[in-house]
Structure formats: C-alpha cells, structure tokens
Amino acid sequence: MDTGIVLLNFGEPGEPERDRVVAYLERIFFANADLEEADTEEEARERAHQLAQRRAPGLIEEYEEIGGSPLNEQAIAQSELLESALEERGYDVTTYNGMQYTEPFIEDAVEAADEDGMETLVGLPVYPLCGASTNVLALDELEDAVEEQGVDIDVRGITGWHKHPTYNRVRADAVSSFLTDNDIDPNDPETAFVFSAHGTPAHYLDEGSRYDIYVEEFCETIASMVGIEDYHLGYQNHGNRDIAWTEPETEDLVEELDHDRVVVDPVSFLHEQSETLSELDIELEEDAIGDDQEFYRVPIPHDDERLGDLFADLVEPFLADFEPEYYQYRQCQCRDEPGTMCLNAPRSD
C-alpha cells in the first residue's frame, strides 16, 4: 500500500540531559513565539533561548525524579497497536512516529515515508482534545516538512477525535476501574473528583480555538458515563511567559478543596509524561494536598489494547478510499485546510 500513517506526538526527552532538555525547550518556545511580539526571527529565537535556559533546571529536576519521560516509548507502542489492528483488518500499512519537539521528528517521518515510496501520508495527532498548539500545529508541521523536503506526498489530516465512542469508553473504564480498585465512591461527600486538563494560552482561545469547549464537554460526558454526580475541572498551565492561560489552575483549585480525599484524572493526556508523573504525582501532592487528605491519581490508559482499533477506525476511511463523512467526519474548522477532517465540527444544514 502506498499510504502511510504518521502518529504525531509532542515528544519528551527520555533522559534528563541538559543539552537535550534545553534544545527541546527552545523548539517549544520558538514554535509558540507568536504569544509574544518579536520583530524578527532572530529576536524570537533569542527569546526562546532565554526562556529555555530559565525553565531547564526545573524541568531537568522533574525528569530526574521520574527517571526520564516514558512518552516516546509509549507512543511507539501505540503505533504498534495501530499497525497490528490494521493488519487484522487486511491492510498492509506502515506507521511512522513524528514528534514535534524530540527525535524522531516529524521531518524524520516524512523522510522515511518518502524512502518507502509512500504517495500519501495520513497525519493522526495523538492529542484527543484538539488544540491550536498541538493537533493543528502538528499537522501544519507535517505539511511544512513535505514541502521543505520537496517530496511528492499528499497529506491528509485528522484533528479532533475525542467524540469517538471507543475513546470515551476507554477513558470511562479507566476511571471506573481505578475507583473500584481503590474502593472509592466518587459521590461520597468527602471525595472530590478533579479532571485536570493541559492548559492553553488564552490567546489561542481568543483566536477561535474551541479547546476549552472540547475539554468541558468531554469531562461532562465521562462523568456521566462513570456516574460521577459532581466534579471539578482545572488546567495545568505553564507560566513561563507573562500571559493569560486557561482557568482555574489545577493546583489553585485543589488547594481550596477541604475533602478527605482528592481523586485527579489527567483527562487530556494519552501518555504518562512529566505533566502527570511529576506535576501531579509529586508537585501537586506536595504543594496542594493537606497532611490529613488522601490523594489519588487515575493512571493514563496508554496501553489499553482498544486504542489499536480506535486509531484504526480513525484512519480507515483514508485507507479504504471511502468518503470520511460516512464515519461522521466533517471538514475541520480549527484547521480549515483541504483534506483535514475531524469529528468535532458542527454539522451544516
């Protein structure tokens, strides 16, 4: 088959080596340079370097505490789940991994696909809740890599897919199983259930991103499926720049809770990474949980075998060459470019 699948991810350094961490941070800050005013690219790169140098010591400490990030390893395992699921369906398809900020980079995936003779690449960002700096930017970078390398590859893209029933069931089951295993009643008056989502700068929401809407509707749905009558929603923000972010901040929210126990579900993540293993498991518990409170964190279901079939469902219309609309896809509005589809766009009459 001449169509390949690129699973697009954020990426994180697997080892807490300073040079790697600084380079990783510089890429992130430069990619989001439009959050601040810069007159030239050189000025933007210098600002990215300054921010990376300032943030690096704390992030290195986080990686040292968790033994390096497992994100990339888990992402590769998920691509193998997808490849197996597609093989079971009769598709001989090659999958590639492209990270935005660490190796293997998105341009590496494009180079490998060209060497394999691929004529079409389907980009699938493994960010369930569509955001401007994640899903949309990752697909922009995939198209840019194809153009910059001058290869003759057609790019199709999938952005938001949190409404897929299998994904909702995977997340709901993860929460339910965790509550059962720990004998926790989420509706006990002394239990606070908190969904913690990755934060995003308010700038992106002002520019039209619907990320906060997707987060809110997804949390409402999962709570309903699990039977959680009342819950809280916070955002894990990164205050590296003096700009407005989504509110409330998870840590501020949890500090105000006076329940006997607090259960946190990192609702927008599909891999264990520094935001879960360090920010929640270590920093949140140390800084926001009282000595007389119990703290629980729902694990990410990154290795749930149903993810293989979920991803296969998402890409199958592009492999079997039937209209994506048959699977309820619509033209993406967050990334209104030809060939970019999603499950989130409002229906048109």
* pLDDT attached to residue 56: 96
Tokens of 131: 């955001």
Task: Work out the average pLDDT over 191-197.
Answer: 98
CA distance 248 to 232: 10
Q: Are residues 111 and 75 in contact, defined by beta-carbon separation less than 8 angstroms?
A: no
**Residue 292 included in any domain:** yes
Does residue 215 come out as left (phi exceeding 0), alpha (psi in the -120 to 50 range) or beta?
alpha
Q: Where are the alpha helices (DSSP H) in the chain?
A: 18-31, 41-66, 71-88, 106-115, 137-149, 165-181, 202-206, 211-226, 250-255, 274-277, 285-288, 306-320
Residue partners of 304: CB distance under 8 A and separation at least 6? 170, 173, 174
pLDDT above 50 for 7 = yes
pLDDT above 90 for 255 = yes
pLDDT above 60 for 122 = yes
**Residue 98 included in any domain:** no
Task: Work out the average pLDDT over 197-223.
Answer: 96
**Residue 183 included in any domain:** yes
Task: Work out the average pLDDT over 96-116.
Answer: 97
**Residue 94 included in any domain:** no
* pLDDT attached to residue 239: 76
User: Which among 258, 282, 297 is the end of a domain?
Assistant: 297
* pLDDT attached to residue 347: 64
Q: Are residues 191 and 293 in contact, defined by beta-carbon separation less than 8 angstroms?
A: no
pLDDT above 60 for 349 = no
User: Which among 257, 273, 297 is the end of a domain?
Assistant: 297
* pLDDT attached to residue 348: 58
Domain count, the chain: 2
**Residue 203 included in any domain:** yes
Same domain for 180 and 291, yes or no, is yes
Within 13 A of 138's CA, how many CA atoms are on the CB side? 30
Same domain for 169 and 287, yes or no, is yes
**Residue 280 included in any domain:** yes
User: Which among 281, 297, 313 is the end of a domain?
Assistant: 297
**Residue 59 included in any domain:** yes
Query: How far apart are the two ends of the chain, measured CA to CA in Å?
Result: 36
pLDDT above 70 for 136 = yes
> What is the CATH classification number for the domain harbouring 200?
3.40.50.1400
List, for residues 300-330, the tens digit of each pLDDT value: 999 999 999 999 999 999 999 899 999 999 9
R_g over Cα of the chain: 20
**Residue 179 included in any domain:** yes
Residue partners of 96: CB distance under 8 A and separation at least 6? 4, 5, 6, 7, 79, 104, 109, 112, 113, 121
- Of 291, 204, 194, 294, whose CA–CA distance to 248 is shortest? 194
On average, the pLDDT of the chain sits at: 95
**Domain residue limits at 265:** 165-297
pLDDT above 70 covers a percentage of the chain that reads 99
Q: What is the DSSP letter of 196?
A: E
CA distance 91 to 85: 9
